[in-house]
Amino acid sequence: MSNIIDHLLSEILIRLPNCRDVVQCKSVCKRWCSLISSPEFIRTFIHHRHQHRHWQSLVSDSHLSMLLFQRHRFENKITSMPNNFQFCQVFGDKRKNFRESFLNFLPWDVIIRASADDLLLVSKPCNFSDFYICNPVTRKWVALPQAPPSITKLFIRCGLVRLPYNCNKQEKCTNNAQYRYKVVVFGYYSSFCAFSNWPRATIFCSETTQWSKLVDFQLPHPLKSWTSIGVFAFGGLIQILTCNGILHWLESSELFCWEGIVAFDPFTDVVEKRCRFVALPFDIDPENEILSAFISMTSICLGNFQGRLRLCLKCEVGGRCGLKVWELREYDQTAETSWSLVHNVALEIRFPSMIFPLALHPSISNVVFLLCRNELIWYNMSEGKSEKLAKFPFNIEKPSARLSIFPLMHSSWHTPVPALPL
Amino acid sequence: MIKHMIEDNCADNGIPLPNVTSKILSKVIEYCKKHVETPKLDERATFVDDELKAWDADFVKVDQATLFDLILAANYLNIKSLLDLTCQTVADMIKGKTPKEIRKTFNIKNDFTLEEEDEVCRENQWAFE
C-alpha cells in the first residue's frame, strides 16, 4: 500500500459507497487525511458519482434525506420566549428521532429560518439581524455579517439559495463542495395596514459578503400586496421552499385565500425570470372540490421532489377526502399546461377534517407526511397505507401556524461550511 | 500505451515494460484475453454478464501484494476496466473497517500524535455515527 501513488489511492477511495466511509478514513494516517481533505480529491469523488448511474440511485436513497419540524411561537421582542423552540427530526426511512439537541453544536439557542440542500439558515430568537449558516450533520457553521437592523420589528421570512460552481472536469457537471449562496430576508413591518404595503427585503450575497440595501419587494402581478389578514393570522409562517435554486412560497392578497405561488430567483440576471407568479393548478371554487377558501390555506403544502416543485392538496367532496399532487413542469405557462397531476388518491380516513398535509417526501414519490391531531403519519399514496411515525410532543392546532418544516437533502458529498476555496 | 509504442515504431525489437514483472504481465494478459473473448455490450449498459462477473471475482482473489501490483500495472498500461475492478476490490476491503483495522490490514503506520489523532476524531465524529 505504501508504494501506491496518491492518484491511485484516490481511485481506490472514491469507490467507497458514501462520503461518510471516506471521511472515516481520515483517521488512518496523515497522508490519507490530507489527501481526503484536498479540494481536488473531493471534486474527483463528486464527479465519479455523477459519471456512474448506479451511484445516482444511492443519492436518492431515502436515508439520505430528512425533514425537520420546528414548532413556532410568535416572536415578540417584548415577551421573548427563548426556550420554546423545539425541533424534531424525522429520517426519510421512517426512523423517527426526536432530538432537541439537534443544533446544540451552536453556542446559542437558535431558530431555523430556512433550508437548502443540506444547509440550514438559523438565527437567534427575536433577533432579525444575526444569521448563521450551518450543516447540521458535520456540525460546522459560519456567521454572516449583521443584516440591516431596521428590517422590521414584527416578523421575518427567510430563504436560502445555494448554487454550486461547475465541476472543472466536465460541462454541466456541478461540484457542490464549492458554491456560492444568497440569503433573502423579508421583513413584514406592519400588520393591519392598508393594501399598498410590500414587505421589505434585503439579500446577502456570499460572493460580495454584503447585505443589499433594504428595498420594497414588489410581488409579481396579479398579486396586489402581501397584506392578507389570513396570512397574518397564521403568524406569517408560511414556508419558503428552496427548489432548484429558486425560492417558492404561497402568497395571497385576498382574505383567507391562496392566490398562487411566487417563484423568486435571486441569482438570475434575466429580469423576467427573477420574480414570477405561478398560478395554482386548481380553482378556489366553493362549489367545486374546495369547500371553503379558509380550509384551503391549511390543506396545501409545497414540496421539493428531486429538484422539482410539487404541490399537495387535500380536497373534500361530500364527506370523502382525497389527496392530489401536482408537479410543476414549466414556469411561464398557464395553469393548465404548467402543472401535471402525478397523484390523485382517495384518503380512506375517518375524520378528514382532522388531516392536514404537512410535507412531501423529498425522494420517494408517493409518500406524503400527514398531520392527524398530534400525530405524524407516513402515508403511501399508491398503496393507501398509513403508518403512525410519531406523536409531536406539543399541541398543534393549525399546522401551518404552528409548524415550520425544513427538508434536508444530502448529496454525494456533505456540503462543507464554509465552502471550499476555488 | 503499447499501442502508442507500436505506432511510433519503437516496437521493432520487442516492447520493454520495465514496470511490470512477467508474473503480473501474464495475469494482465489473462484478464485481457478473457474480456476480449466475451462479446462486449454497450459500455454504459447496466447488464453485465454474470459469468464474467464471477470470473472477475475469482481473478482478484490474490494476495495483497499481487493486487497492488495489478493496480500499478493497469494504471501503467492504461487498462481502465482492470483498474476499475482492482480499485473496487481494495475499496471493498476498506469498507466497514475501523481506521485501526484498516491500518492493520494494509500495514500502514499511524503517524498521528495522540493529540492530532484526537483532533481528527473529534472533527469527524459525525461520520462515525
Digit-coded pLDDT (tens) for A86-100: 455 555 444 445 455
**CB-based contacts of A74, cutoff 8 Å, min separation 6:** A155, A235
Chain B interface test: which of A24, A33, A42, A101 (most B C-beta within 10 Å): A24
H, E, C per residue of B34-99? HHHHCCCCCCCCCCCCHHHHHHHHHHCCCCHHHHHHHHHHHHHCCCHHHHHHHHHHHHHHHCCCCH
Looking at chain A, the whole-number percentage of residues with pLDDT higher than 70 is: 73
Digit-coded pLDDT (tens) for A280-301: 887 655 455 444 545 566 788 8
Chain A interface test: which of B86, B108, B114 (most A C-beta within 10 Å): B108
In chain A, residues with a C-beta closer than 8 Å to the C-beta of B127 are 19-21, 23-24
The C-alpha of A52 sits at a distance from chain B's nearest C-alpha, in angstroms, of: 9
Please report the ipTM that was assigned to this predicted complex: 0.84
Over residues A410-415, mean pLDDT: 84
pLDDT at position A321:
81
* Residue burial A29-41, b: 16+ Cβ < 10 Å; e: rest: bbebbebbeeeeb
Residue B3 or B59, more confident: B59
> Is the pLDDT assigned to residue A222 strictly greater than 80?
no
Q: How far is CA A159 from the centre of its chain?
A: 8
Helix and strand element counts for chain A (H, E) = 10, 25
Digit-coded pLDDT (tens) for A313-333: 888 766 678 888 999 988 877
The C-alpha of B55 sits at a distance from chain A's nearest C-alpha, in angstroms, of: 20
Q: Which three cell numbers stand for residue A170?
A: 466536465
Digit-coded pLDDT (tens) for A224-264: 766 544 455 454 456 789 998 999 988 876 656 777 888 99
Residue A73 or A340, more confident: A340
H helices of A175-328, where? Answer: 229-233, 271-274, 293-299
In chain B, residues with a C-beta closer than 8 Å to the C-beta of A45 are none
> Is the pLDDT assigned to residue B22 strictly greater than 90?
no
Over residues B72-86, mean pLDDT: 90
Asked whether the beta carbons of residue B68 and residue A4 sit closer than 8 angstroms, the reply is: yes
Q: How far is CA A195 from the centre of its chain?
A: 29
> Is the pLDDT assigned to residue A312 strictly greater than 80?
yes
CA distances from A401 to A67, A73, A340, A398 (A): 17, 9, 28, 5
Distance CA A176, CA A373 (A): 39
Query: Given pLDDT bands bounded at 50, 70 and 90, which one contains residue A81?
Result: very low
Query: Given pLDDT bands bounded at 50, 70 and 90, which one contains residue A413?
Result: confident
pLDDT at position A82:
36
Over residues A198-222, mean pLDDT: 87
pLDDT at position A195:
45
Asked whether the beta carbons of residue A23 and residue B106 sit closer than 8 angstroms, the reply is: no
Digit-coded pLDDT (tens) for A8-53: 999 999 999 888 899 999 999 999 999 999 989 998 898 888 777 5
